[in-house]
Amino acid sequence: MNIFEIKNFSVNVEGKEIIKDFSLSIKAGEVHAIMGKNGSGKTTLSMSLMGHPAYDVTSGQVFLSGEDITDLDTEEKARKGLFLGMQHPVAIPGVSVGNFLRTALKNVWGDKVPVTEIRKRIKDEAQKMKIPAEFLSRSLNDGFSGGEKKKLETLQLSLLAPKFAIMDETDSGLDIDALKSVAEKIHSLRSPERGFLIITHYQRILNYVKPDYVHVMINGKIVKSGGPELALVLESEGYEGMSPVKNEGAKA
Ligand SMILES: Nc1ncnc2c1ncn2[C@@H]1O[C@H](COP(=O)(O)OP(=O)(O)O)[C@@H](O)[C@H]1O
Ligand SMILES: [Mg+2]
């Protein structure tokens, strides 16, 4: 069964078409990677899939476990089990990490999990991930290093244990130890009931979270798909020559 399906999805940003008739199916248990250089539309795709209002979806549908979630708002999508690890998480001075996490978890879990239990789960998971307790009382992403931001995204991922997670450049700006710990956490969450879309610029995170399929994205479209070996080809040969699809309107 497809845990996540994107069908003929097109997205405009500021009146310009950035995602172009994009389709992708991911089966439960699979990890797919999208690789593409800066500006190819990876973040636009992930933000619009999650339902960010700044992105104008002009056509297409998105299915989670077979259910059409295209028109749901972000919080509803999260409740259905969709997760986005953002490339650039927002800083909110005055809102603590702990407060933010409790709100996010409460949105998804509703009244099923009492607040005291939510607090406990956050504390326990943070401890497991060797995140110091004082981290939870800091202002959300405010002055956080790249590594701290990604660690928080990963803590959130781990607590929510979503059905389908889109991770947008979770590896960018991380040193090798931080990359390893984040990637190992993602790897440990792989399961037959869960799917992942790992969006990345570089191949190295895929050494730790081995994808079933790799897709190359150029100009808002997948131009090539293959197995994990495709990531290695890209690493050695770059994105040049990867574009068999002529882009109407684009200069040669
Ligand atoms: N908020 C925005 N306003 C204007 N243009 C945008 C905005 N977000 C993205 N774009 C444009 O969309 C294209 C794709 O950007 P993005 O999705 O961030 O690519 P990637 O994540 O692959 O680097 C770029 O040309 C970028 O300039
Ligand atoms: Mg991006």
What domains sit in the chain, N to C, each tagged with a CATH number? 2-237 (3.40.50.300)
- Going residue by residue through the chain, which has 252 residues, state the pLDDT in tens, using 9 for 90 and above: 999 999 999 999 999 999 999 999 999 999 999 999 999 999 999 999 999 999 999 999 999 999 999 999 999 999 999 999 999 999 999 999 999 999 999 999 998 999 999 999 999 999 999 999 999 999 999 999 988 999 999 999 999 999 999 999 998 888 898 899 899 999 999 999 999 999 998 899 999 999 999 999 999 999 999 999 999 999 888 888 776 554 444 443
Q: Tell me if 123 sits within 8 A of 133, measured CB to CB.
A: yes
Q: Tell me if 156 sits within 8 A of 86, measured CB to CB.
A: no
Model confidence, pTM: 0.93
Query: Which residue among 16, 22, 44, 222 is best mutated to probe the pocket of ligand 1, counting the most ligand atoms within 8 A of its Cβ?
Result: 44
Ligand at shortest distance from the CA of 218: 1
221 lines ligand 1 (CB under 6 A): no
Residue 168 CA, ligand 2 centroid: distance in Å: 7
Residue 44 CA, ligand 1 centroid: distance in Å: 6
Distances 177 to 37, 133, 183, 204 between C-alpha atoms, Å: 24, 21, 10, 12
Please give the Cα distance from 107 to 230 (Å, whole number).
38
41 lines ligand 1 (CB under 6 A): yes
